C-alpha cells in the first residue's frame, strides 16, 4: 500500500510542476488589454489617436507585442458611447477620446483606469475621480480672437456655430462671449443639435458676418469640408481652433496641435502601464501653442501678414 502511494505521488508531483510552469509562461506572454473609444472619426481626433499610439510605441508598448488595442467608434451616437464603455468592462485600461466617450466610460467603469484625451473642460464635464485622468484640448481662445483682429482688422461681426448637446462646446462659446466683448467684437451665434442642421445654420450665420470662428466641436470637425465650401462661396474667411482646421481650409489658428495632444496622452498612459497610480496623476493641458497660416487662403483674401506673424508662423 505504501509502495502504491509513493508511485502515485511521483506521477502527480511532476505533472503539477508541468501545469504550473505552463501557467506562468502564459501569464508572462499575455498582452495588456486596452479599450479605446472615440465619439466619431474625423481628422482632428484621428491625429490624436495616432499620437497616442506613437507615444505608446516609443515608450516600449507596441501594439501586438506588449499591448492589444481594441478600437471602437461610436459614429457620433451618444447611445453607442454607453454600449462601447460597457463592452470594455474586462479591459486593463480604457482610453476615451472626446468628452462624450470619456463621460460614458467614467459612468460605467468604476474600477478600471480611464485616460481621456480631447476633453476640453474635465471639471465641468464631471470627469474628476480616482480612476480617471488625461489631457485637455482646451485652446487659447483669447489668442485666437486677437489673431482674428490682427489678420482681419476691419472685422466686426464674428459667426459661431456650435452643438448645444456638447458640453465642451458650450463651455468654449461662453469663453468666446466674454473675450469678444472685451475686444469689441459682435457675435452671430447659431446652435444646432446634429450635423444635419449644419447647412441651414451656415446659410443663416454667413449672411451677415465678416469672419467665421470655429472652436473645438466634434460636429463642426465632422462637417468641416461643408463649412469651408459654404464660407468660400460667401467670401467669409475662417479662424480655426486647431491645426487640422487650417489644413482643411481655415485661414489661420493660434492653437494646439492635435497630434501633440495625443502624444502627451500616450506618454501619460505609458506611465500608468509602468506602475504609476492613476489617482496620483492630475489631468494636464497642452501649454505650447502654434501659429498656423494657410498661405493659399491668405492670398485668396489678399491678407497682408505683419512681419511678427511671418517670423513665427508655420505655413500650410
Residue 294 CA to residue 316 CA, distance in Å, equals 5
> Could you give the percent of the chain with pLDDT greater than 90?
88
Q: The whole model's pTM is what?
A: 0.83
φ, ψ (nearest 5 deg) of residue 98: 95, 160
pLDDT band at 286 (very low <50, low <70, confident <90, very high): confident
Each residue's pLDDT tens digit, 41-97: 999 999 999 999 999 999 999 999 999 999 999 999 999 999 999 999 999 999 999
8 A C-beta contact, residue 159 and residue 212: yes
Domains in the chain and their CATH numbers? 31-137+258-285 (3.40.50.2300), 141-255+290-315 (3.40.50.2300)
pLDDT score of 250 more than 70: yes
Q: Which of 262, 169, 182 is nearest to 216 (CA)?
A: 169
Better-scored residue on pLDDT, 232 or 28:
232
φ, ψ (nearest 5 deg) of residue 175: -65, -40
8 A C-beta contact, residue 85 and residue 107: yes
- Beta pairing class for 67-73 and 211-214: unpaired
> Could you give the percent of the chain with pLDDT greater than 70?
91
Q: What is the mean pLDDT of residues 5-31?
A: 39
Each residue's pLDDT tens digit, 142-168: 999 999 999 999 999 999 999 999 889
Helix (H) or strand (E) holding 97: strand 93-97
Instruction: Tell me what pLDDT residue 248 has.
Output: 97
pLDDT band at 29 (very low <50, low <70, confident <90, very high): low
Each residue's pLDDT tens digit, 174-230: 999 999 999 999 999 999 999 999 999 999 999 999 999 999 999 999 999 999 999
Amino acid at each position: 500500500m505504501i509502495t502504491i502511494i509513493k508511485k502515485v505521488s511521483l506521477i502527480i508531483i511532476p505533472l503539477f510542476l508541468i501545469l504550473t510552469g505552463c501557467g506562468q509562461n502564459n501569464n508572462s506572454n499575455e498582452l495588456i488589454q486596452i479599450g479605446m473609444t472615440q465619439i466619431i472619426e474625423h481628422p482632428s481626433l484621428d491625429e490624436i489617436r495616432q499620437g497616442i499610439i506613437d507615444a505608446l510605441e516609443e515608450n516600449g508598448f507596441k501594439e501586438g507585442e506588449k499591448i492589444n488595442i481594441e478600437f471602437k467608434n461610436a459614429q457620433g451616437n451618444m447611445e453607442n458611447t454607453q454600449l462601447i464603455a460597457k463592452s470594455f468592462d474586462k479591459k486593463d485600461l480604457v482610453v476615451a477620446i472626446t468628452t462624450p466617450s470619456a463621460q460614458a466610460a467614467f459612468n460605467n467603469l468604476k474600477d478600471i483606469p480611464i485616460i481621456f484625451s480631447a476633453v476640453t473642460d474635465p471639471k465641468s464635464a464631471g470627469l474628476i475621480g480616482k480612476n480617471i485622468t488625461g489631457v485637455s484640448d482646451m485652446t487659447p481662445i483669447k489668442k485666437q480672437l486677437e489673431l482674428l483682429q490682427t489678420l482681419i482688422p476691419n472685422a466686426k461681426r464674428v459667426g459661431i456655430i456650435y452643438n448645444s448637446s456638447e458640453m465642451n462646446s458650450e463651455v468654449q462659446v461662453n469663453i468666446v462671449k466674454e473675450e469678444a466683448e472685451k475686444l469689441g467684437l459682435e457675435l452671430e451665434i447659431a446652435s444646432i443639435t446634429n450635423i444635419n442642421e449644419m447647412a441651414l445654420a451656415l446659410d443663416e450665420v454667413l449672411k451677415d458676418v465678416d469672419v467665421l470662428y470655429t472652436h473645438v466641436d466634434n460636429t463642426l470637425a465632422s462637417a468641416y469640408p461643408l463649412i469651408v465650401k459654404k464660407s468660400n462661396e460667401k467670401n467669409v474667411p475662417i479662424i480655426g481652433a486647431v491645426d487640422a482646421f487650417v489644413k482643411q481650409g481655415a485661414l489661420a489658428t493660434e492653437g494646439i496641435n492635435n497630434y501633440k495632444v495625443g502624444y502627451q496622452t500616450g506618454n501619460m498612459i505609458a506611465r500608468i502601464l509602468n506602475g504609476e497610480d492613476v489617482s496620483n496623476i492630475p489631468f494636464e493641458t497642452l501649454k505650447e501653442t502654434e501659429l498656423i497660416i494657410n498661405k493659399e487662403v491668405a492670398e485668396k483674401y489678399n491678407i497682408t501678414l505683419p512681419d511678427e506673424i511671418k517670423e513665427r508662423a508655420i505655413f500650410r
